């Protein structure tokens, strides 16, 4: 899955047409968990995210806000940068398609494909959805609306340049069939294979009735179609063609994207790369959509659940935990503040927070603040110990197949077993009865479980892992306030 010991992961680059919403946050968190997990496995990681700033959509939103497209994109991009910071996303770079480093590469690749004869001039007649920045045929629409946004599409007739995508159809199909891992999950792979049974139409890769884009290298009266421009970020962001970084990291191990942009990443992008003689990425990994009360996120509902506000109000790690636990990766899921609060109170405050706090309290009370070192065969008979001992292996197995929710469930099995051990052991009685050896075994197991939990939640909840380390100093513990304060839940629906 990776190039030698190197691992390049990307997210989609977001349209800064408005503030980031919870769907954007979700994608960044998944990529961050994968990146942190790969680093933990001693892979050299390059993690790229960014913003997709050109096109008619941004131009329109900017006009509505009475701003120039660049001014508008600058302002909104600030919020995506904030999002990465607030969510503790460990991206190594942030590419903006308005940066010179990107514009140069987009033009170079366009020219390369043009010079090869794979781009030709023709007239485009058809429909266009500005929100998707996609061309549609009549049969793709219902009642004249695009299926993704449910909005009326525009009729478009313009002279443009077409990319001979059809030439690569068979090659792409062969590649997908020969590489099981190229598209994940399998259902998405089958979807693409089935769509590729129909003849592929050439793609209009330039626009001429607006100006907010990268000028064509061979025709300054046109701009490069925003998707052709945007996809190239994955190579421009790594320093195509000559940088050391590009040579080290390309091809990317994972392009992480949402289901709505599957086609662009598994058909259009491979065609561009083949035409430009660049190696294909190793995999495109597709996540589902987050809905709000079962409904698609819209402009008005999206801003009501602002992920930056949520992280500030409930804690970054709590939000990260919730999204990775609650939603089965690859499927759609729901976000609600009530469900978030419930998870915080039960899984984080009650289970994990309580485990850490009560263990610290007992280490202080019974062992003057330092955990006894215990070596005994008895450990193998204690469920919490056995679960913790096998935890890293079990969690790695789940993460390696993107079962994040299951990975967390495994961690919580160990947490719950340790909490149960307290009730079963009744350490307060052992202490009264002077059974210090048994008490020692018990407290050793509790600390051991916490250490293994800490090790494995690290990529999901990095700040919490650090807080646990700070409280369990070798030799002497340093008890602090509980990790997760309970949230008043009397107002829950």
Q: Is 317 in the site for ligand MSP (CB under 6 A)?
A: no
Q: Which helix (H) or strand (E) holds 418?
A: helix 404-425
For ligand MSP, which is the closer residue by CB, 25 or 483? 25
For ligand MSP, which is the closer residue by CB, 30 or 362? 30
Active site residue 116: no
| Chosen residue from 2, 23, 183, 239 binding ligand MSP by CB under 6 A | 23
Determine which one of 54, 102, 129, 265 is catalytic: 129
Mind giving me the DSSP string for 109-169?
A: HHHHHHHTT-EEEEEEEEEEETTTTEEE-GGG-BTTB-TTT--BPEEEEEEEEEE-GGGGH
Task: State the minimum distance, in angstroms, from the CB of residue 236 to ligand MSP.
Answer: 11
Determine which one of 132, 265, 287, 357 is catalytic: 132
Q: Is 87 in the site for ligand MSP (CB under 6 A)?
A: no
Q: Name which of 109, 5, 91, 99 is nearest 46 in CA terms.
A: 91
Task: State the minimum distance, in angstroms, from the CB of residue 231 to ligand MSP.
Answer: 5
Q: Is 29 in the site for ligand MSP (CB under 6 A)?
A: no
| Chosen residue from 2, 14, 118, 351 binding ligand MSP by CB under 6 A | 14
| Chosen residue from 8, 15, 163, 314 binding ligand MSP by CB under 6 A | 15
Interface of this chain with ligand MSP, residues 399 to 418, rule: CB under 6 A: none
Q: Report the residue count for the chain.
A: 493
Q: Is 231 in the site for ligand MSP (CB under 6 A)?
A: yes
For ligand MSP, which is the closer residue by CB, 87 or 415? 87
Report the alpha-carbon distance of residue 122 to residue 157 in Å, rounded: 11
Q: Tell me how far CA of residue 462 lies from CA of 9, 231, 335, 405, 427, in angstroms.
A: 19, 30, 22, 17, 31
| Chosen residue from 261, 382, 430, 441 binding ligand MSP by CB under 6 A | 261
Q: Is 241 helix (H, G, I), strand (E, B) or coil?
A: coil
Using the contact rule CB under 6 A, the part of the chain among 8-16, 108-116, 149-157, 402-410 near ligand MSP is: 8-16
Q: Is 281 in the site for ligand MSP (CB under 6 A)?
A: no
Q: Name which of 467, 461, 472, 348 is nearest 36 in CA terms.
A: 461
Using the contact rule CB under 6 A, the part of the chain among 173-181, 197-205, 229-237, 427-435 near ligand MSP is: 229-237
Determine which one of 21, 57, 255, 452 is catalytic: 21
Report the alpha-carbon distance of residue 325 to residue 323 in Å, rounded: 6
Q: Is 272 in the site for ligand MSP (CB under 6 A)?
A: no
Using alpha carbons only, how large is the chain's radius of gyration in Å? 26
Task: State the minimum distance, in angstroms, from the CB of residue 51 to ligand MSP.
Answer: 8
End-to-end CA distance of the chain: 44
Report the alpha-carbon distance of residue 477 to residue 363 in Å, rounded: 8
Minimal CB distance residue for ligand MSP: 258
Q: Is 230 helix (H, G, I), strand (E, B) or coil?
A: helix
For ligand MSP, which is the closer residue by CB, 54 or 357? 54
Task: State the minimum distance, in angstroms, from the CB of residue 464 to ligand MSP.
Answer: 24
8 Å CB contact between 269 and 231: yes
Task: State the minimum distance, in angstroms, from the CB of residue 17 to ligand MSP.
Answer: 7
Report the alpha-carbon distance of residue 130 to residue 373 in Å, rounded: 64
Interface of this chain with ligand MSP, residues 44 to 73, rule: CB under 6 A: 52
Q: Is 229 in the site for ligand MSP (CB under 6 A)?
A: no
8 Å CB contact between 272 and 109: yes
Cβ count near 137 (within 10 Å): 9
Active site residue 287: no
Site residues (vs ligand MSP, CB under 6 A): 12-15, 23-24, 26-27, 52, 230-231, 233, 257-258, 260-261, 289-290, 297
List residues with catalytic annotation.
21, 24, 129, 132, 146, 149, 296, 299
């Amino acid at each position: 899955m990776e190039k030698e010991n190197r691992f390049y992961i990307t997210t989609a680059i977001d349209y800064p047409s408005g503030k980031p919403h919870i769907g954007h946050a979700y994608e960044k968190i998944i990529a961050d968990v994968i990146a942190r997990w790969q680093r933990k496995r001693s892979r050299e990681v390059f993690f790229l995210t960014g913003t997709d700033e050109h096109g008619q959509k941004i131009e329109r939103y900017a006009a509505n806000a009475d701003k120039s497209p660049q001014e508008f994109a600058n302002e909104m991009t600030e919020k995506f940068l904030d999002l990465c910071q607030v969510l503790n996303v460990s991206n190594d770079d942030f590419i903006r398609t308005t940066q010179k480093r990107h514009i140069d590469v987009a033009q170079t690749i366009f020219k390369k494909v043009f010079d090869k004869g794979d781009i030709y001039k023709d007239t485009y007649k058809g429909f266009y959805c500005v929100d998707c920045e996609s061309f549609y045929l009549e049969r793709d629409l219902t009642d004249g609306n695009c299926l993704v946004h449910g909005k009326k599409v525009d009729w478009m007739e313009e002279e443009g340049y077409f990319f001979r995508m059809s030439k690569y159809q068979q090659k792409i199909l062969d590649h997908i069939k020969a590489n099981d891992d190229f598209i994940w999950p399998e259902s998405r792979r089958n979807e693409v294979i089935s769509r590729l049974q129909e003849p592929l139409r050439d793609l209009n890769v330039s626009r001429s009735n607006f100006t907010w884009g990268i000028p064509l290298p061979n025709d300054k009266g046109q701009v490069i179609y925003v998707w052709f421009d945007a996809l190239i970020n994955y190579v421009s962001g790594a320093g195509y063609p000559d940088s050391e970084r590009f040579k080290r990291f390309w091809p990317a191990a994972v392009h992480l994207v949402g289901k709505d942009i599957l086609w662009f990443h598994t058909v259009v992008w491979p065609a561009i790369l083949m035409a430009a003689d660049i190696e294909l990425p190793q995999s495109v990994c597709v996540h589902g959509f987050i809905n709000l009360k079962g409904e698609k996120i819209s402009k008005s509902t999206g801003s009501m659940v602002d992920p930056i506000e949520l992280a500030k109000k409930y804690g970054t790690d709590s939000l990260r935990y919730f999204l990775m636990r609650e939603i089965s990766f690859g499927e759609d899921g729901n976000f609600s503040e009530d469900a978030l609060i419930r998870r915080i109170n039960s899984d984080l405050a009650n289970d994990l927070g309580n485990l850490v706090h009560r263990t610290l309290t007992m280490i202080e009370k019974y062992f003057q603040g330092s955990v006894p070192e215990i070596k005994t065969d008895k450990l193998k008979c204690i469920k919490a110990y056995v679960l913790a001992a096998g935890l890293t292996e079990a969690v790695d197995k789940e993460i390696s197949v993107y079962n994040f929710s299951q990975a967390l469930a495994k961690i919580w099995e160990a947490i719950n077993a340790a909490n149960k051990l307290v009730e079963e052991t009744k350490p307060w009685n052992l202490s009264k009865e002077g059974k210090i050896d048994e008490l020692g075994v018990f407290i050793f197991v509790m600390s051991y479980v916490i250490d293994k939990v800490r090790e494995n939640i690290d990529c999901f909840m990095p700040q919490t892992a650090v807080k646990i380390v700070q409280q369990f100093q070798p030799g002497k513990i340093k008890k602090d306030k509980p990790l997760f304060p309970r949230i008043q839940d009397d107002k829950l629906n």
